[in-house]
Structure 1
Amino acid sequence: MGDTFASGGASGLPRSKGGSPGRTAVGRLSGKNRYVSKEVQVSAPRTRNRWGEGERLRGEILAAASRLLSELDGEDGLTIRGVARVAGIAPASIYQHFTDRAALVAGLTEHEFVRLRVAMEAAGDRVDSGDVVGRVRAMLHASCRFAMDNPGHYRLMTANGPPGTAPGVRPAGPLVDVIDLLVAGFARCAAAGVALRVSPERAAVIAFVGAHGRVALFQDSAKHNDADSVMSFVDEFVALVFA
């Protein structure tokens, strides 16, 4: 067997000409000392991120984790290596943004809540501003659709609710931010003269919990349910908070 070596090294042999990016010439001395060259695919070295690229990579990692979560339908199988595979990067690249799996799950949870808030806000904005009750219903419908379309994501989100707080201290976190969208919606109803049986804050919690419970029943027995029945229930439930 002849010696094998990479071109352009200590041998002084030239690199292959016209090769495509990411390829390098590998040479071999045959039994008659003839030089034989071929090209092999190699990974290009990762360069230092330019300004803003680090944040973009973080977003790509979270998007990949979200796609993997859809495949798994739950967070139990969510691993650093699995996310790296989906993102097409090395696991070490993930550790530059998330110290461990727990940090990745926390980041993914917040990422999914952002998606939910965007969906709810967009749904409300599509309704005429004068239809204040319709805007609340639209936001709740969007919340239910998100949960039914992304069951694994929704379980992750609701399993990681706001941490406990001291008595009298209002909790904070992405779940509270979602409920605050409904608080604002019910407050607009009250300002428009649509009477509520309870405060906007209480109405928002009641409506969200009712919608969440109905979605949970849908997910437990989806074969015997349909999305329209969920939306109808939400509309009937929301009507109960109005005087």
Structure 2
Amino acid sequence: MAVPGRRHHGVYREPVVKGRSSTGSGRPRSRRGQGERLRAEVLDAVNRLLDDWGSDERLTMRAVAKEVGVAAPSIYLHFADKAELVWAALTDKYEQLAQQMRAADQQAAAAGARERLRAQVAAYCRFAHENAGHYRLMYEVRQPTADPARIGHHPSRLVSRGLRRALARCADEGYPLALPLHQAAHTLWTGLHGLVSVQHSLAINTPMTTITDLADGLVDVLVSTERTAGPGYPQSTEVDRLIAETVLDHD
């Protein structure tokens, strides 16, 4: 007897009918046109498993296939390896954060480069505060190790790119940076992460205004409050060049 179809974590799960699957997985073979639905189910399963397990250590193509109810080769039709699989599962969350940062930046456009950067920083903190579960998956759950040549394609580039461009606008408008551009963006990003992750880890119920005040302090350390006559880019360093090698500044 077929088990009625149901929704799990917002994704429709097909009814399982014994004896119909040629894969031995308990799931009927996907009909033509169902590839996108399978892809969505796979990504949903990855999010669940990462959330349950807290790292990628137990996450394998076989484990994901078992969670979805398909054979492991079906996963490889959509994703080349585990890194690509996990990055795809988390992309929508990085896109959501990046979009909120862009919106805040645009709303502050009339106030100048420095205020636009502060608006992005505040949006980052609000997202982490209001979407703690998403943030944990994005930054506090171990993800697969990837070759350095691929790291620039990680979806987190959408977030770091926004901060880097905002810092560059500050320097262009005459607000000197305390560090070379790529190093400054990396330092700001990791500083913001440390700030919000401490709130999460220690369950500190800090008012959002206090969190954004602390984040503003990071901006003040990295971007001068005094405007100069020309661009404010410090000379590049070896650290800055190493970071720049991993940066993909376009899609």
TM-score computed with the length of structure 2 as normaliser: 0.58
Q: Distance in 2 between matches of 1:45 and 1:98?
A: 18
Aligned residue identity for 1:91? V
**8 Å Cα contact 2:42-2:64 kept in structure 1:** no
**Superposition pairs of residues 50-61 of structure 1, within 5 angstroms:** 54-55=35-36, 57-59=38-40, 61=42
Q: Distance in 1 between matches of 2:180 and 2:123?
A: 23
Structure 1 runs of 4+ aligned residues shifted over 6 Å read none
Aligned residue identity for 1:74? G
> Is residue 188 of structure 1 aligned with residue 169 of structure 2?
yes
**8 Å Cα contact 2:95-2:158 kept in structure 1:** no
Task: State the partner residue of 1:16.
Answer: none
| Structure 2 SS opposite 1:201 | helix
- Residue deviations 1:207-240 (CA, integer Å, cap 9, x gap): 1121111112112212353443322211111111
Change (3 A) 1:134 1:178: same
Higher-RCO chain (CA-CA 8 Å, sequence separation at least 6) = 2
Q: Which has the higher strand share?
A: 1
Change (3 A) 1:221 1:241: same
Select 2:136's aligned residue among 152, 174, 177.
Answer: 152
| Structure 1 SS opposite 2:223 | coil
Select 2:124's aligned residue among 122, 143, 156.
Answer: 143
Instruction: Note the C-alpha offset of 1:114.
Output: 3.3
Q: Distance in 1 between matches of 2:204 and 2:140?
A: 22
Task: State the partner residue of 1:31.
Answer: none
List gaps (5 residues or longer) in structure 1. Answer: 1-21, 23-42, 85-89
| Structure 2 SS opposite 1:222 | coil
**Superposition pairs of residues 186-225 of structure 1, within 5 angstroms:** 186-225=167-206
Task: State the partner residue of 1:17.
Answer: none
> Is residue 173 of structure 1 aligned with residue 153 of structure 2?
yes
- Residue deviations 1:100-148 (CA, integer Å, cap 9, x gap): 6665324324454333333322332332344322221222233333334
Change (3 A) 1:233 1:184: same
Task: State the partner residue of 2:70.
Answer: 91
**8 Å Cα contact 1:151-1:219 kept in structure 2:** no
Change (3 A) 1:215 1:163: farther
**Superposition pairs of residues 2-13 of structure 1, within 5 angstroms:** none
**8 Å Cα contact 2:168-2:181 kept in structure 1:** yes
TM-score computed with the length of structure 1 as normaliser: 0.59
| Identity in percent | 28
Aligned residue identity for 2:167? F
**8 Å Cα contact 2:170-2:223 kept in structure 1:** no
| Structure 1 SS opposite 2:32 | coil
Select 1:126's aligned residue among 107, 126, 134.
Answer: 107
Q: Distance in 2 between matches of 1:80 and 1:142?
A: 33
Q: Distance in 2 between matches of 1:64 and 1:146?
A: 23
Change (3 A) 1:112 1:75: farther
Aligned residue identity for 1:80? V
| Structure 1 SS opposite 2:152 | coil
Aligned residue identity for 1:154? M
Q: Distance in 2 between matches of 1:154 and 1:69?
A: 14
**Aligned pairs, how many?**
189
